[in-house]
Structure formats: C-alpha cells, structure tokens
Amino acid sequence: MTIQDERPITVWLDIDNTLYSTSAKISQAMGVKIHNYFVKLGLSDEEASDLHHKYYTQYGLALAGLVRHHDVDPLDFDRNCDQALPLEEMIFPNPAHRKLLEDIDRSKVRVWALTNAYKVHAERVLRILNLRDLIEGIVYCDYEAKDLTSKPDPAYYRKAMALASITDSSNCYFIDDNWRNVEAAKQMGWGHCVHFCERGLEHVEGGKVIRISSAPDTSESTKHEEKHGIKVISELEELRVVWSEIFKSA
Ligand SMILES: [Mg+2]
C-alpha cells in the first residue's frame, strides 16, 4: 500500500561534495580510480584521460560512455571505483550538519537525497556522515538496471518527482555543488535552488582538475546566478537563512 505523503515541501540534497566538503579530496581519489579503470580496459594513459573527459562531458557520467562504448558492467565499475575508495579515512560526521537536518520542520518537509552515484555509495557516505536516519528517501543512478540517466538530464528530475509522488515542482528545494545540476533543476521549475559553491577549492571533474567558481566563470558569476533565482552559498549553515521557512521556529 502506498501512503500518500501530505507534506507539501520536499528538500533534495545532493550528497557528494555537498554534504561533505570538496576539501576532503574525494573527487581526486575518484578521478584516479576511474582513470585506472580505463587503463585496465587496455587504453594508454593518454587515451584514458581523453576518453574519461570526453564521456564525462558528453554523458554527464564517465560510466555512461564506458557502458555504451566498452560494454562495461556498471556494477563492476562501482566495485572498482566508488566502493574501492577508503571513504572512512577521508570523510567524517559533522555534528553541525546533523543538527541542521534535525532542525528542519518534518511536519511540513520531507528530506530526500538526489545523487548521481549508485545506492551502495550513497548509503555508505550517508552512514559515515551519520546522516542516514535523517534522509527519508534516496534517488540514485540505477547501475543494476543499467539505467544511467543522471543529473542534469531533465528525465532524472522527473524520475525523482515520480518516486516521491510530487506533482508541484515549485515546492522542491534543491542544493547541489554542480551548477549545471542546479541550473537544470531551475529550468524544471524547482522553486528553491541553491548552488553550494566552495569557491577557490580544487575539484576533479571528468579527470581534470578545476578550480571551483560559480557559473559562468566570471567575477560577476554569483550575481548572474542570483539574478536567475539561484542562491549561492559556501556553508550548509547558510541554508538556515536562504531556506528559513523550512526550519522549526526557535
Ligand atoms: Mg555533488
């Protein structure tokens, strides 16, 4: 039996590099694992770097290109990349983040995670961060079904809304460190979009090191995003201000 959740507001939290800081260098470690996976397929270092970046840019996930062009099993990729990361030595619970999620008014708000990772990685990260019990549902990239639809594909946001039985996108609150994902959510009509932007830190995307800035990459970028109704924050604690209406009143 499906019980209709009458709570009007849904908060969607990205997990990686949002619920923990990019300074944990998970993206660097992940980049190395993925590179090694390409090399294991018989590619040279140079070919591996080129294809890694190309697939990431083209499909949003390097894995999507590996499945499409190299007949890779996503579950094998997951075991050798995400699951092989020593996360327990790299990220740690932050009591302030736990308190932040505890202070959300659950009588009107449900809190879900929306990740491009597979469920094994998502569950593991949330458990290590001591946040798992505060997340009511997880929308993940379904490696088992070989369905690699992911953010920022609009179909993925529609899937998320369907899974949570949401029809009113204006009541969706969303935070992600990847501005393309935030922009896509905004275009889907998600009402309250936040770009988590740890400006200046180094991050690895598609195997390439980038320095984080908000988008587009100019000194005016934060203003640009805010003009388009996207809030930019660099600390999760700032959600208490930009999303003040979803928190329990003191
Ligand atoms: Mg992220």
Q: Give the CATH number for residue 113.
A: 3.40.50.1000
Strand intervals (E) in 177-243 = 192-196, 202-205, 208-211, 230-233
One domain, residues 134 and 230: yes
Between the CA of 173 and the centroid of ligand 1 the distance, in Å, is: 15
Whether residues 15 and 33 fall in one domain: no
Query: Cα(21) to centroid of ligand 1, in Å?
Result: 10
Q: Please tell me the distance between residue 3's alpha carbon and the centre of ligand 1 in angstroms.
A: 30
pLDDT at 110: 97
Tell me the per-residue pLDDT of 11-56, one tens digit each, with 9 for 90 and over. Answer: 999 999 999 999 999 999 999 999 999 999 999 999 999 999 999 9
pLDDT (0 to 100) of residue 99: 98
For residue 44, the enclosing domain spans 26-80
pLDDT in tens, 103-133: 999 999 999 999 999 999 999 999 999 999 9
At residue 219, the pLDDT reads 52
- 22 in the Ramachandran plot: left (φ > 0), alpha (ψ -120 to 50) or beta? alpha
pLDDT of 217 > 70? The answer is no
175: CB partners within 8 A, 6+ apart = 12, 13, 14, 18, 182, 193, 194, 195, 196, 233, 236, 239
Q: Are residues 39 and 140 in the same domain?
A: no
Cα of 1 to ligand 1 centre, how many Å?
33
Same domain, 17 and 31: no
pLDDT of residue 221: 61
Say whether pLDDT at 182 is over 70: yes
Task: Quote the ligand 1 centre to 117 CA distance (angstroms).
Answer: 9
Is the same domain home to 32 and 17? Answer: no
